[in-house]
Amino acid sequence: MLTAPIPADEASRLAALRRYDVLDTDAEPEFDDIARLAAEICEMPLAYVSLVDADREFFKAAVGTSVRESPRDISFCGHTIFEDEVLLVPDALRDVRFADNPQVVGGPQLRFYAGVPLVTPDGYALGALCVKDAVPRTISDDAVYALGALGRQVVAQLELRRLLVESRRDAASACRLAAIVESSNDAIVAGDLTGAIVSWNPAAERMYGYEAAEAIGRPISIIVPASDRDEMMQLLERVTADEAVDHREVARLRSDGVEIEVSSAVSPVLDADGNITGASVIDHDLTERRLFEQAKHDFVASVSHELRTPLSSILGYVEMLTDNGGTMSAEHQRFLGIIDRNARRLLALIGDVLALAEVENTTGFRPEPTDLGALVEAVVQEQLPASAKRGHSLGVAVPDEPLIASVDAKQLTQAAANLLANAIKYTPEGGTIAVSVAVEDPCQIAIRVSDSGIGISAADLEHLTERFFRAHSATDAGIPGTGLGLAICAGIAAAHGGTLTVQSELGHGSEFGITIPLER
């Protein structure tokens, strides 16, 4: 193993790293999102935003692991900070720098690595945005480009984070803040206590179509749709009461009347004496992210269709052969059974992957007033034959009068069906299942599915919504599944502003619930 050398400007590099005040800080969604995008674009199980400290690398964001730091002397990213662009290691066992690295020959047995250096505007490499896998492989040129672009966004977020922290510490004025972040890709707007714009950076000009001279002095409501202006004024009142508002996805209005979706954060601006003089707004345009989400969804849907068609054909031919199996040997019949089971398992996995992609595609979320009682009854009727086949006692309780909520009926039907299908699958023959929908407080409806099934251990409960995770009680019982159903349910619940709840005890059944806001 070749440990990465120490840069000649190490003292200055470490000083540059510390000025961002980011080491040993908690996870932040801005960096987590970038790591997740890197993992998904490169199709990798592991992704990190790694900052190389004096004797360790600190992971500001990590996908696929809960580890927050690692020794620098075995770090791949310690080598990446010497690169101008990307460091690619297709097979670590064939690379003299890493062949006997503890991360390669021991846990987690890394074989592939790709990382881009995180270089500050003044030229210091702080660390790397990287992806890893336990198998030798490569990635496309497009993925390499995307990794580089995301790496630049990490540095941009570090710069923004530094600027925001400094603005709180030294009471920088809104005008100075806008000047400091003039090169930002995010619109940064400052307003006074009356809501009048006092600062408007170049990114705001590009995003909203107003020149700074046009915007300054006008009310900040010029970039807020009419339907949201009351809420915006209430928000400014909260901020001028010294309450920072974290990123919220909201609509904004361009000068040409076109609405765009942005992620907006609002913070108070203080003078040298600590008095609140106004508010600063940072808006990040979500258009590219939405386009990426749609492209990803379209890709998954296309691939799923291309896989489903031949699988359906295979299952059809297996059924034909099985129906005419009188002349077939027992061994051949067994082979057909194996083909049928595996094809159906793959078909179920494709369906779950497509469903998960649809949940993540926020542009496809279409809420409308829906009677949840009728929705739940329809789900129960659809799965009643499967429950009856196993001799279950299946009860359903819905209110006599409609319970109306604004939901995406297709998605919520899928979530309720997943929970009921799980109850049927994990409840032994002759067991009991209960499905209900009810108002649990004046503003909330809960859809609940309880069963007398095999239950879940306390150790597994906290992992249930992780993708591809399966409870040990299910695997020990030999019950098949993809491990995506509850991740889909959790995503659907979150999209509706609700939550997925679970109560279970090993050997004593489970109760799953989806709670969502009620709209009468």
Query: Once rounded to an integer, what is the mean pLDDT over residues 333-350?
Result: 74
Question: What is the DSSP secondary-structure string of 52-118?
Answer: E-SSEEEEEEEES----EEEGGG-SHHHHTT-SS-EEES-GGG-TTTTT-HHHHSTT---EEEEEEE
- pLDDT: which is higher, 132 or 296: 132
Phi and psi, residue 250, nearest 5°: -135, 165
b (16+ CB within 10 A) / e for 26-55: eebebbbbbbebbbbbbebebbbbbbbbee
**Residue 43: strand, helix, or coil:** coil
- For 145-158, the pLDDT digits (tens) are 999 999 999 999 99
pLDDT at 174: 46
User: Token match 């269709």: residue?
Assistant: 305
- pLDDT: which is higher, 174 or 258: 258
Question: Chain-wide mean pLDDT for the chain?
Answer: 84
- In this prediction, residue 354 has a pLDDT band, given cuts at 50, 70 and 90, of low
pLDDT at 326: 61
- Please report, as a single letter, which amino acid is at residue 59: F
Q: Does position 306 have pLDDT exceeding 80, yes or no?
A: no
Q: Does position 290 have pLDDT exceeding 50, yes or no?
A: yes
- In this prediction, residue 307 has a pLDDT band, given cuts at 50, 70 and 90, of low
- pLDDT: which is higher, 433 or 305: 433
Q: Cα(365)–Cα(416) distance, rounded to whole angstroms? A: 17
Q: Does position 479 have pLDDT exceeding 80, yes or no?
A: no
Question: What is the DSSP secondary-structure string of 477-505?
Answer: TT----S-HHHHHHHHHHHTT-EEEEEE-
Q: Which residues make beta-bridge pairs with 8?
A: none
- For 361-419, the pLDDT digits (tens) are 655 667 888 888 999 999 999 889 889 998 999 999 998 888 888 888 888 898 899 89
Token representation of residue 352: 């779950």
- pLDDT: which is higher, 13 or 518: 13
Its pTM surpasses 0.95: no
pLDDT at 172: 42
Q: Cα(454)–Cα(473) distance, rounded to whole angstroms? A: 7
- For 32-91, the pLDDT digits (tens) are 999 999 999 999 999 999 999 999 999 999 999 999 999 999 999 999 999 999 999 999
For the chain, which domains are there? Answer: 10-166 (3.30.450.40), 171-285 (3.30.450.20), 286-364 (1.10.287), 366-520 (3.30.565.10)
Q: Does position 178 have pLDDT exceeding 50, yes or no?
A: no
pLDDT at 124: 95
pLDDT at 236: 76
What percentage of the chain reaches a pLDDT higher than 70? 86
pLDDT at 176: 53
